[in-house]
């Protein structure tokens, strides 16, 4: 912290170290529960994720590195869990919709027999077609991106819970398609503070994956001003333009 009193700098560093270790503790407890479930499914390699715990403790004086260590552990848990068959049908429907587009059809307005129960429509943005092609592993990478953002913003306790919590890890590998827009949304909001056009671009891309991200547009326009508003609307228009072709 340039210009700060040494005592203030020391207090901030101590606070960051304590919060980072709290994040490690949260990941150790929750990650062990998740690894235990994975091991029960025959995926004993999930226990390797807990190697992040001693590594993070050794790096305790470098809080951001501690956070990245937790993120690495969270990534490994999810990568292992991705071997479990999908139980949700969002990515499955997305891939079926992509096949429809590649065959020259309109992905909207029809029910897909591959859903459970059969007949679910495709209700996402155009870019979700591409995200669906990445399957569960794409969602794992997006969740890892979210964890990296949490580490870089020093949100250590949130990171530890997100990385290790059984429900979050399982949900992100179940076949849902929310990890990609969630990462883009979070990255966009964080970026918006200092780089308004880049942040607005990320938000527009997020909304073109899952339309619920449009809910953040008004706040982003209010914060980012005219430039952010023009970027949001202009880029969104381009990303959603395939609807004009599909009718």
Q: What is the pLDDT of residues 61-100, one digit of tens each?
A: 899 999 999 999 999 999 999 999 999 999 999 999 999 9
pLDDT of residue 6: 67
Cis peptide leading into residue 117 (ω within 30°): yes
**131 close to 209: Cβ distance less than 8 angstroms:** yes
**84 close to 175: Cβ distance less than 8 angstroms:** no
pLDDT of residue 13: 79
pLDDT of residue 177: 95
pLDDT of residue 7: 63
The DSSP bridge pattern shows strands 120-121 and 111-112 to be: antiparallel
Residues of the chain with pLDDT under 70: 1-8
pLDDT of residue 17: 87
Tell me the two tokens of residue 34. Answer: 């998740």
- The domains of the chain are located at 1-170, 178-247
Q: Which residues pair with 111 in a beta bridge?
A: 121
pLDDT of residue 5: 61
Closest to 243 in 3D by CA, of 166, 150, 129: 129
Q: What is the Cα–Cα distance from 223 to 107, expressed in whole angstroms? A: 35
Q: Quick: pLDDT tens for 167-197.
A: 999 999 999 999 999 999 999 999 999 999 9
Sign of CA dihedral 211, 216, 221, 224: negative
What letter does residue 86 receive in the DSSP assignment? P
pLDDT of residue 4: 55
| Phi, psi angles (nearest 5°) of residue 3 | 85, -5
């Amino acid at each position: 912290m340039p210009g700060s009193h040494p005592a203030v700098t020391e207090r901030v560093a101590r606070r960051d170290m304590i919060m980072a270790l709290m994040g490690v503790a949260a990941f150790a407890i929750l990650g062990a529960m998740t690894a235990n479930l994975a091991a029960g499914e025959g995926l004993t390699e999930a226990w390797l994720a807990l190697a992040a715990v001693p590594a993070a403790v050794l790096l305790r004086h470098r809080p951001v590195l501690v956070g990245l260590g937790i993120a690495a552990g969270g990534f490994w848990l999810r990568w292992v869990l991705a071997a479990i068959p999908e139980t949700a049908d969002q990515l499955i429907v997305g891939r079926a919709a992509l096949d429809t587009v590649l065959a020259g059809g309109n992905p909207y307005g029809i029910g897909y027999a591959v859903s459970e129960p059969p007949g679910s429509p495709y209700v996402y943005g155009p870019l979700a077609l591409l995200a669906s092609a990445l399957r569960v592993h794409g969602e794992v990478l997006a969740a890892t991106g979210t964890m990296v953002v949490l580490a870089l913003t020093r949100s250590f306790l949130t990171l530890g819970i997100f990385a290790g919590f059984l429900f979050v890890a399982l949900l992100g590998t179940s076949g849902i398609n929310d990890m990609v827009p969630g990462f883009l949304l979070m990255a966009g909001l964080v970026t918006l503070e200092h780089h308004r056009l880049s942040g607005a671009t990320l938000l527009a891309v997020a909304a073109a994956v899952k339309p619920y991200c449009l809910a953040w547009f008004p706040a982003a326009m209010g914060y980012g001003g005219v430039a952010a508003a023009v970027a949001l609307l202009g880029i969104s228009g381009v990303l959603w333009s395939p609807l004009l072709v599909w009718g």
